[in-house]
A and B are shown apart, each in its own frame.
Chain A
Amino acid sequence: MTSAAPAATLLSGNEAIALGALHAGVRVATGYPGTPSTEVLEQLARIAPASVHVDWAPNEKVALDVGVGASLGGARVLVTMKHVGLNVAMDSLMTSPLMGVGAGLVVLCADDPGMHSSQNEQDSRLLARFAGVPLFEPADSQEAYEFIQTALQLSEEWDTPCILRTTTRTSHARSRVVPGPAADVSPRPFVRQARKYVMLPAHARVRHLAQLERLPRLQALVETHPAAREEMGDRAVGVVASGMAYQYVREVLPTASVLKLGITFPLPVERIRRFAGAVRRLLVVEELEPYLEDEIRGLGLAVEGKRWFPRAGELSPELVRQGLQAAGVLEAPPAAAAAPALALRPRPPVLCAGCSHATPFLVLRELGAVVHGDIGCYTLAATEPLAAMDTCLAMGSSIGMAVGMARAGSPGRPVVATIGDSTFFHSGMAALLEAVYSRADITVVILDNGVTAMTGGQPTPGSGSDLRGQAAPRASIPDICRALGVATVMVVDPYDLGATRRALRAAVRQRGVSVVVTSRACVEAPVKNRGRVYTVAAARCDGCQLCMNLGCPALLWDQARTEPPRRVWIDPQLCSGCTVCAQLCPQEAIGPVVAPEPEPVGAAGPS
């Protein structure tokens, strides 16, 4: 190594994509937050100069439309989203390859095999093939850095949007990146060509033929593109793999021959044929759907894949090893003596101490409402002890589902939709319009904490600031609801338990659509909100545990009394001072810690 060699840095896949986009001259970047894609735009906002537009859009379709417009306007564009977000953008995505691009346009779509933080684990590779859009799959951060640049370059050369598809592991794992120099990309002017950019049927018919005619040429280019490589070793078995699955194969089967693919639509068909001819047995190792396997089988080649490897969930070295053992490629190990298992309760995620979402759900459970939930932190209210959510489908679905259930009839139980502020902006507004228009008897609870909290506190159109912290127009949720035709809009502070009860009780008794906005800043983002720490007067607590129904992680049992009924103790390290438990306590046993403290609050935790 020489001293002139560029320094290696340790980057997550998402950070590498941001750096690659910057080095490839991206001038417009937009998207909607969603694990595991969120950090790309956040990192780009940190490292890009102010001349690069980086901001969140209200949803993925708007983001892609902004991206297509910017591309036609001559700027290189990155649009980011998670896999389920691609569904939202799908309408525009399907037609965008007919239109082509002005400057390079890449959609980062981050899949979540294993559903670490998602409601499904769809395989977006199938959607890329469906849309006829070239697809890049990096296997580590270095490739993520390089592929975003290649994809932007080829998007321009091939006149089509491209998709860069990562998974949770490639997006979040950190590995070495040796960055190269930044490209000097000059802006392109917008060229008026209505036959290419106005998708009238007469134009689209011509453009569809152009897209179909382009695909074989794309495929010919992919055949020789260095994103694919043959790593020839033992020829008894050859494995075709891409993305993180490639790493697992190399880990578990270091001596086998591997065809590592970087562009997986279109596929380098002739290379696959040559590789298949060079090995005695052909396997495909891939996460989720048998996409490569089906394509290769369609070439008339004998190939094995999902017969040995699971179709559901995330792959791992051990699952790849087990699959190869089942396939007879690896010898099964002698049965190991099972270690005595320690009985351990799982530690599920919980709403934070002081979360403003707890009281609305506490009250909704008291009211016996049928509660349609939505996507956000508050989906955790489906679990004990709040256990106040009956359904949750997809972003923005709660309101439409509530309308449907009210139509089907829900005798004796009020029908309620609960939706966060960011989700409301994303896809709840049109559904609320439908509720008003169809005169449904539902109550919509909009949980407004001012940020997209689930993904780490990104600003929304209601935050009053943008991704870079600059002041932005602040959308008023009550004004939007009234403008959509909702007659009854109430705004309450969810830290005021009595007011929240009164508002929700009044709302569910009304005919027609009523909206209750619970308005209180997220306790963790954008800043940590901490008030006076509360404590339990042990002599007054009778152990009724009513407060424990909040599910607040700061409420634990007092160590001083080990027999039931257990008294409650508040962890001063965790208490945010929201006061809700004090409002709940029938014995008035909970109050603020009285200053001055004789000693600093102990750091000994629950022990």
Chain B
Amino acid sequence: MTAAAAPRSLILAGVGGQGVLLASNVVAQVCLDAGLDVKKSEVHGMSQRGGTVVSHIRFGPTVHSVTVEPHTADWVVAFEWAEGLRCLGLLGPGGTAFISRERWVPPSALDDRRGGHVAYPLDQVVPEQVVPVDTFTIAAEAAAAKAAVAQTVMLGVLSRQLEFPADAWTAAIERWAPAKSVPDNLLAFERGRRWEAPRAGTLPRVAPAPAVGPPAEPPPAPVVTIEAAWCKGCEICVAVCPERCLVMDAHDIAVFAHPERCTGCRLCSWLCPDLAIDVAAAAAAPVPA
């Protein structure tokens, strides 16, 4: 087996709904039309619901495995920043990752409601192999600046790395994209194909982050006082507390059970019909009862 006969491997990654499957069908079609053996694989199912989607594509004279081994991919092409970084473990030593700077922050990254920290990769230094691509800026000059087709820019960028002719890509896009979005997709593809990556060494190694915010120090916990004698056990505060800090005790009296989760929103205080709850903004030291 010569090195030339070894299949080459490409990872396409993104978030469910970004069109990863469409893009991977286009790439595989281009390989097939070039007379190569090609296999591609991804997992459908629950990943459609806003989860991660990763497509493995392998092509060459003969291909056996449908999945790519870690540290062997020639290219990683990602439509979303965090999903691109997630796939870097699949990238081989000589490989390149083209990662869109588009960010889809998942709801689960916003669970630090008290501290306001966004658990999403923002400012970290990325390896030399990563080429960030401003998908929307590249597409923006054209009508192609629609979310639905902006990711096709990435296929244009990828097409420069592979030896297939441009019209093979055009034909594959025409075959796989929904008919009404073909012109926009082709435009986005052209923009990506014409895009010049910044010369090595001049790339900003830190992706410019939007003002999503630094991991702030969590503010001191608010002080919530419940006047037990005034509580008649209506449970309104328990039902309404967004952080589910309050519970009813054995005597049907509201208890502030989870002070660590309280954001100090005061909903309980405002809605208590008996004015039994007081929320004080983080006192320097709690007042002894």
Contacts and interface: CB of A to CB of B under 8 A. Distances in A.
Interface of A: 1, 8-10, 35-36, 116-117, 140, 168-169, 172-176, 244, 247-248, 250-252, 254, 316-318, 321, 336, 339, 342-352, 366, 377, 380, 384-385, 454-456, 542-546, 548-549, 551-553, 555-557, 559-560, 562-566, 573, 586, 603-607
Interface stretch (B196-204, B211-219, B226-234): B211-219
Contacts of A543: 263, 265
Contacts of B46: 35, 116-117, 349, 454
B170 interface: no
Contacts of A564: 113-116, 216, 218-219, 263
Contacts of B32: 8-10, 176
Contacts of A350: 49-51, 106-108
A500 to B, nearest CB: 14
Contact of A348 (B35, B108, B214): B108
A355 B21 CA distance: 23
Given A10-B29, A36-B45, A175 B136 contact: no
Given A117-B45, A175-B38, A342-B88, A603 B146 contact: yes
A607 B42 contact: no
B42 A545 contact: no
B53 to A, nearest CB: 10
Given A349-B48, A605-B104, A251 B65 contact: yes
How big is the B interface, by class?
A: 35 or more
B168 to A, nearest CB: 14
Contacts of A565: 113, 116, 263-265
Contacts of B213: 559, 562-563
Given A175-B37, A350-B107, 14 more contacts: A8-B32, A10-B32, A36-B45, A116-B47, A174-B38, A248-B64, A317-B67, A352-B49, A385-B107, A553-B107, A564-B216, A564-B263, A565-B113, A605-B147
Contact of B110 (A344, A366, A557): A557
B69 A562 contact: no
Given A174-B40, A546-B242, A562 B116 contact: yes
Given A175-B66, A605-B104, A377 B242 contact: no
Interface in B130-158: 136, 145-147, 150
B211 to A, nearest CB: 5
Contact of A172 (B25, B41, B120, B147): B41
A456 B64 contact: no
A366 B239 contact: yes
A247 B65 contact: yes
Given A36-B45, A344-B121, A556 B40 contact: no
Given A344-B86, A564-B216, A606-B105, A556 B69 contact: no
A557 B147 contact: no
Contacts of A552: 107
B240 A546 contact: yes
B39 interface: yes
Contacts of A168: 43
Contacts of B49: 349-352, 377, 380
Nearest to A116: B43
Contacts of B111: 384-385
A350 B110 CA distance: 14
B211 A140 contact: no
A176 B37 contact: yes
Given A553-B106, A562-B214, A586-B271, A321 B52 contact: no
Contacts of B1: 254
Contacts of A454: 45-46
A477 to B, nearest CB: 24
Contacts of B110: 548, 556-557, 566
B108 A347 contact: yes
21 contacts: A10-B29, A36-B45, A169-B67, A173-B39, A247-B64, A342-B88, A343-B121, A347-B51, A347-B82, A380-B49, A546-B265, A548-B113, A549-B242, A553-B106, A557-B116, A562-B116, A563-B116, A564-B116, A566-B113, A605-B103, A605-B147
B15 A347 contact: yes
Contacts of B38: 10, 174-176
B28 interface: yes
B44 interface: yes
Contacts of A169: 41, 66-67
B272 interface: no
Nearest to A565: B263
B71 A336 contact: yes
Given A10-B29, A10-B32, A173-B40, A339 B67 contact: no
B174 interface: no
A605 B148 CA distance: 12
B209 to A, nearest CB: 8
Contact of B107 (A10, A172, A251, A555): A555
Contacts of B88: 339, 342
The winner among B29, B145, B146, B263 for most chain A CB atoms within 10 A is B263
Interface in B7-41: 15-16, 25, 28-29, 32, 35, 37-41
Contact of A35 (B45, B89, B211, B271): B45
Contacts of A456: 48
B116 A250 contact: no
Nearest to B44: A172
A344 B42 CA distance: 21
B124 interface: yes
Interface string B255-279: 0000000011111001100000000
Interface string B236-247: 000110110000
B212 A349 contact: no
B147 A559 contact: no
Interface in B65-117: 65-67, 69-71, 82-83, 85-86, 88-89, 101-111, 113-116
Given A117-B45, A603-B147, A551 B263 contact: no
A604 B264 contact: no
Contacts of B28: 10, 174
B288 interface: no
Contacts of B147: 573, 603, 605
A436 to B, nearest CB: 31
A560 B213 CA distance: 9
